[in-house]
Amino acid sequence: MEGIRVGKRLIGTQAPVTVGWENIPRVEGGPVKRLFFSWFQPTVLFALILFWYYAPNSIAKASTAIGIGIGFRVFLLGLEFFFPRHESWQLTWKEVTTDLFYVGLGYTVLRLVDGFIGSDVMVGAIQDSFHWKSFDWFTGLPILLQAFIISFIFDFGQYWMHRGMHNWYPLWLPHSVHHYITQLNINKGAVGNPIELFLIGLGIGGFFDFVPRAFLLAGAIGLAVGSYQHINVRFNSPRWWRFLFHTTEHHSLHHSQDFEATRSNYTNTYIFIDRMFGTCIDGEAELLGMEGGRRMGLREQMTFPFTEGWRAIKGKFARQGQDEATAVPAE
Amino acid sequence: MSNAIALPSARHGSAMNLRFIDWIWHIRGSVDLPPGQTSEEAFARLEPLLRQPGTSQQRGGEALRFTKIDPASQDKLAVFENGLLQVEQDSAGPVLRYHLVSRALLLCFLAPLLFLAFAQLTIAVGQWQKPAAEAAAKAKTDKKKDAKKDDVRPMNPIDKALGAPAPEKDGKKPDRKGDKYSPTSAYVFASLFALLYVIGRILEARLVKARLRKSLLGAE
């Protein structure tokens, strides 16, 4: 395959990818359908911002956020079912069940573990050692700005953690499992080795949660933008949305079977962070996964980082032993 | 010849007769073949359904066994790790009998138990952490009592002008992640997987029958 030159890189030499917004198909159908899929994303984002900005204190709490999050995902699941982007990414019973197993782990045992060793524990400890007054400069900012800063800090940290995972083998091992997914569906973000799910949740965005409403707003922005990363629905996202936010198209390229394409679009919410550091590629891919699209089974997803890590260590020591055996002493 | 190929996981003749419970993850059924259709013709028609990455086949007379390793998501039979297809002559004519084994169905059947165990674990950890949590809550209350009233942070004038609700006067900071020692989510997922199992057991049995029938009886 010839590939497409993007800056200094050749993208799509190993697997088909589409680069450039002008080459990406638009939603087809009647005017109502096109209107819906053009304005759905911005409408939900602004509606959620307004809701969290004005909701009375009795409603603006974590349980409401959890309820909205679940309801929104169920709705998106319905959209996937009725308006799939690619037939080859259609949800099956096995896919839904596998994805929900990982979602379930996140809501139960991983949350429990996070309560002891997650970044929030560290953040809480540091927060307690500061006096509130030290952060008056932050808590005096407009709530929306606080929310943006919280989500930006979280996404900035996420960007570097994710980029690190693609560049340093010990971090790649747990993350690689997530790259064995062969299609994008709404709950695929939860699929991965539990160690990676813990690592990716690390962040210091929670440090600035002094005003609960600002933190909940930050969560709502993350929900209204980040939820589309793994979704089998095509949207006519407005130009400004695609410039600022991480879209399904960006993320499908990140999951492509082409190695160079996977080394792009590392953010979760704000694709402009990728633009800042030169890792953004505007495009999409349909053929996803590793090893030519081999779907990894549940058991291997759990053990892969350890078995591969062990194999790598053994290989390294074997090579060292060989080098020593064949080395000729210099005289 | 029909017994020439056996399902490895069927465990015929084992001490415990799994047949009473193996319906949980085994799907058996039959599809009537058109009169005169031979096993050669029937298996040839099923070939597109079986010719998938990670699928190996073994033929023995009137029987065909398939095994799947890491089947693709869109493989129509992806939910089954192995299966035995046999063409037999019934009084009414030739019939294809199938016996398919699904680890996914078994795991989904067992998943509620795992999540119930997570619920118990959450309760146990909550009990274990109770004294520490109470001490922390008391320390926070004492700290708040000592704190002056002006600790309630003022709102930015922009937010005031836009009419955003003022923060709680007592400076109460709700737990933004909910109660981490609540077993509710584990119970919800246990129920969800029980429901998913029932849906999967019925849906996959119907889908495989429909797909086999379509392949076998579809237009030439």
Instruction: Look up the ipTM and state it.
Output: 0.85
- Rounded to a whole number of angstroms, the distance from the CA of B212 to the nearest CA of chain A is 17
**Within a domain: A217:** yes
- Rounded to a whole number of angstroms, the distance from the CA of A225 to the nearest CA of chain B is 20
The rounded distance, in Å, linking the Cα atoms of A168 and A79 is: 37
The rounded distance, in Å, linking the Cα atoms of A153 and A171 is: 21
**Within a domain: A325:** no
Span B71-84, pLDDT tens digits:
999 999 999 999 99
Residue A100: domain span: 4-320
Span A103-128, pLDDT tens digits:
999 989 888 887 777 666 666 666 66
The pLDDT-based confidence of B35 (bands split at 50, 70, 90) is confident
The rounded distance, in Å, linking the Cα atoms of B108 and A108 is: 17
**Within a domain: A328:** no
**Residue pairs between chains A and B whose CB atoms are closer than 8 Å:** 129
Model confidence at B134: pLDDT above 70:
yes
The torsion angles phi and psi of A303, rounded to 5 degrees, stand at -105, -15
The whole-number pLDDT of residue A130 equals 64
Span B104-125, pLDDT tens digits:
999 999 999 999 999 999 999 9
Low-confidence winner among A156-160, A273-277, B178-182, B204-208 (lowest mean pLDDT):
B178-182
The whole-number pLDDT of residue B93 equals 87
Chain A residues within 8 A of B156 when measuring between CB atoms: 140-143
Specify the number of domains making up chain A. 1
Low-confidence winner among A29-43, A137-151, B15-29, B135-149 (lowest mean pLDDT):
B135-149
pLDDT, mean over chain A: 89
Mean pLDDT of A30-41: 95
Span B164-215, pLDDT tens digits:
888 876 555 555 555 778 899 999 999 999 999 999 999 999 999 999 999 9
Contact across the interface for B159 and A143, Cβ inside 8 Å? yes
**Within a domain: A14:** yes
**Within a domain: A76:** yes
Chain B residues within 8 A of A90 when measuring between CB atoms: 74
**Within a domain: A330:** no
Span A206-225, pLDDT tens digits:
566 677 888 899 999 999 99
Model confidence at A131: pLDDT above 70:
no
**Within a domain: A166:** yes
- Contact with chain A for residue B80, Cβ under 8 A: no
Give the residue, A73 or B91, on which the prediction is more confident: A73
**Within a domain: A276:** yes
The rounded distance, in Å, linking the Cα atoms of A95 and A90 is: 9
Please give the C-alpha separations between residue B166 and each of A51, A63, A226, B156, B185, in angstroms, as whole numbers. 15, 20, 29, 10, 31
Span A82-95, pLDDT tens digits:
999 999 999 999 99
Nearest to A91 by CA among A188, A168, A2, A175: A188
Q: How many CB atoms neighbour CB A328 within 10 A?
A: 5
Give the residue, B132 or A325, on which the prediction is more confident: B132
The rounded distance, in Å, linking the Cα atoms of A91 and A187 is: 11
The rounded distance, in Å, linking the Cα atoms of A146 and A218 is: 8
Q: What residues of chain B, 95 to 114, have a C-beta less than 8 Å from chain A?
A: 104, 107-108, 111
Span B8-29, pLDDT tens digits:
554 444 556 777 889 999 999 9
The torsion angles phi and psi of B105, rounded to 5 degrees, stand at -65, -40
Mean pLDDT of A39-65: 94
The whole-number pLDDT of residue B3 equals 46
The whole-number pLDDT of residue B92 equals 82
The whole-number pLDDT of residue B180 equals 76
- What is the pTM for the complete model shown? 0.88
- Rounded to a whole number of angstroms, the distance from the CA of B26 to the nearest CA of chain A is 15
Nearest to A277 by CA among A168, A172, A164, A180: A164
Span A162-201, pLDDT tens digits:
999 999 999 999 999 999 999 999 999 999 998 887 787 6
Contact across the interface for B159 and A60, Cβ inside 8 Å? no
Which domains can be identified in chain B, with CATH numbers?
A: 18-103+201-217 (3.30.310.80), 107-170+178-196 (no CATH)
The rounded distance, in Å, linking the Cα atoms of B55 and B51 is: 7
In chain A, what is the straight-line distance between the N-terminal and C-terminal CA atoms, in Å?
Answer: 50
The whole-number pLDDT of residue B1 equals 39
Nearest to A140 among B71, B156, B189 (CB): B156
The whole-number pLDDT of residue A113 equals 85
The whole-number pLDDT of residue B152 equals 63
The whole-number pLDDT of residue A1 equals 76
